Structure 1
């Protein structure tokens, strides 16, 4: 089986996906019309032309503008459902999805409107496609920790629908330690902690996320490779790292995918996984990310298989579900050989 067919057919989990980052230009225009929201774009092509970024902040400016069309429960359902239909077509069987409630509540959209629309879609995807899911609520790191506490209070009344808490948005100048207290409270409330660290920020941000937020998975983490001791620590821990190749390229974190550190991560023993981050903005969903980085690095059949297997190993499924998913994956590989 060639690599393209292997990537297309193998079961996979996606562990780093911002649901707001799946807002395709066509749906953005449709929701703007439905909700009578005025955008600074006349056509879908105008939106696509705006998707040219030189850094994380350039992307975030357009990203938050796109959010303005999301106002009602049905909007959040439509957003998530469009993503989940794509995942069913790409043989993704489990997703762990970030959402940014502060990006909506700041606009007057209630927390419950956001969450109910998303959970409606994920419940339907389990019924219709057999896709399991977990939601991770992110704090926006450019905002204050006090505002994060307010958001956590909302989440505490919805624990059955929210598995974890994360940290995203502008990294530089907003170290993980800024959110030490709110992450401690989130852990006490039973939420699983993760954080974006080491994308644009230095390796010390990864160390802070580990030591001060006590995260259970590293989102991005590229720059951790600048610190050999940190690399060994991550590898020895078995902690997963959610890598997003096309995002790294588009935001100039790794301008040339031929220089991407994914293979170095695997060789170092890190449980690296492949994910799409904000696929509408960065040019591809999960299979596209596998294909792009496999081509750029010349990944082998065995390395693709390892990445696919890692996606389940690094997930937050319960032990029984994880064993079943890995067994299903291994059965697929055996039959494919």
Structure 2
């Protein structure tokens, strides 16, 4: 029997996600007649330790994965379960995404104290979010709102909605769905109003690139559609070399035929780059069949419109 040690952040959401993955891989292993056992190793990341500073000021992408990736490289764990939106666009040498399972709802959502919608929030309402991407898009849509930073796990942010005088908070719908807390959602924000983070709603199952046995198991858990669309989004992010300091969003879908049944190979990717204050927002939608080429093309189009200048100015 092989014992597979799975690295996870110690938040309730991370452990719940990891549990779902282990359940799925256990079922696959039994179907394949594989003799494996899974154990969870909790790992504290830099992003978990620093909770009193906005994400954009703590550092770039990788805040919630670097220590876990080091444990993989050191052989302390055999695989890791990440929220894809937390993963840097370039993985450390020797590591690979072995599987991207089916994506859940990629949208952002609103939780309000009174049950009102985004449009119904009163003038000057206090809205909490830890994301520059969400804040910049909301500033464009509702410039009157008072948007403030709110950090912490999902459960602590939900508590802060009640205890710290916020009128509303914004979260990823996927996290609430995986926790079984979808009933807390007041409304979903259309992607036309708030473009999601790259990979939002998807998980990345990371392992060592030379662990052939692990890769073979994870290949049975990979969802081709999610992998293709997330690859387009992550390529876009990589081309922009984006991190948490710059508002960047992307969302890819595979288009359907006119009767809505037969899936085609055409991918549609929308990408966005904005200034932190929301005063400038560049957005482009393109279609293609190659996810990598599409991600490169959308990034190049936004660069031609001035995204490079925004990125350079924000990074100083």
TM over 0.5: no
> Whose helix fraction is larger, Structure 1's or Structure 2's?
1
TM-score by length of 1: 0.28
> Whose strand fraction is larger, Structure 1's or Structure 2's?
2
